[in-house]
Amino acid sequence: MHKFKKGFLTFLLLMVAIIISACGNSETASSSENGNSNEIQEMTIKISHVVAENTPKHQASLAMAEYIEENSNGKITVQVYPNGQLFDDKTEVKNLRANNVQFIIPDMSKMVGMNPAFNIPALPFIFDSNEEAYAFWDGETGQKILQSLESEGIIGLRMWPNGPKHITNTVRPITGPEDLEGLKIRVQGGQVLAEIFKTVGAGPLQLPFGQLYTALEQGTVDGQVNTYSNISTKKLGDVQKYITTNWGAARVDYALLTNKKFWNSMNEATKEVVKAGIDHGTKQARTLAEELNSEALKTIKERGKMEIHELTTEERETLKEALQPVYDKFADEIGKDVIKAAKNAGK
């Protein structure tokens, strides 16, 4: 009996030792994965996007990268790949999910298949200014949309802008909805943007941006909508007669997205530096986009190749009324509460 008790006691001590060892190993694994919470982890971060180096998106990506590297005491290396060098716009989301890249910055229209609320920038005259757009995406509803992709292994962080779109064409000045009837207008894609032109009797035609200049030159389409910066840098004034400024019936906005597994692998010290870098990059993206579009409009005016009509407040209101059916058609899909929050943002 004494031997049995002694053996049982030895067995219990052995089990306790095994449990303590297992806990210690678990803690070591956790520490290895997330590092000491007070020390910045060593890592390489990749940022991929599909536009050129002379764009606000790329310059903001560089600003974000430089901030993170400088404030991580050399422990974090950030590599930025522009022009689709790493992944193009057809494969970047797939590779983000796989954590082959840690940040991508796609046009929000690319995300509507995951959440129709990403159609917000395409809704006609939803925002009257850049500040209203920022207020929405930085606010509760906008952040909820950005964070709705977690089930896909993706976390949405911030909105980076390109800006409001403006319309050009070769047929006549656009001052109201009746002027759009019968025109063939190139759109980048998406049901909402196409519906804008269908509603006023125009014919939307989806074409890649790389084919736009030739399509305008050959008359495949009569006109197009784009930001001032794109209109200017691509010299669309050489193949277009008219531009309507203060149009802004839709926007081009980007979503800064990260991989969920990567994001959760960072300890607090590392995440603090990365978050600060994101804030810095976001500020740069917004400032540069506004500056670039302002300078582009000046360049368009100086070139004098297009007749310019600036929409009056009354003309914008007339267009808004004419395009109300677009809201009616997509309200349930996008969400009436989401649309209401967007309309009220910054007001």
Q: What does the pLDDT read at residue 6?
A: 46
**What's at 108, amino acid-wise?**
M
The C-alpha atoms of residue 62 and residue 115 are separated, in whole angstroms, by 29
Per-position DSSP letters for 104-147, written without gaps between them: E--BGGGGTTT-GGGGGGGSTT--SSHHHHHHHHHSHHHHHHHG
Positions of the chain with pLDDT lower than 50, given as ranges: 1-6, 8-33
- At 56 the three-state DSSP class reads helix
Q: Cβ distance 293 to 227 under 8 Å?
A: yes
Cβ atoms 112, 195 nearer than 8 A: no
Residue 209: per-residue pLDDT: 83
The model's pTM is: 0.84
**So what's the pLDDT on residue 89?**
82
| Ordered domains of the chain (ranges, CATH) | 42-163+253-292 (3.40.190.170), 166-251+306-344 (3.40.190.170)
User: Please, what is the Cα angle at 116 between 327 and 189, to 5 degrees?
Assistant: 80
| Helix axes of 191-199 and 324-334: crossing angle, nearest 10 degrees | 160
Q: Which residues pair with 245 in a beta bridge?
A: 310
What are 138-171's pLDDT values in tens digits? 999 999 999 999 999 999 999 999 999 999 999 9
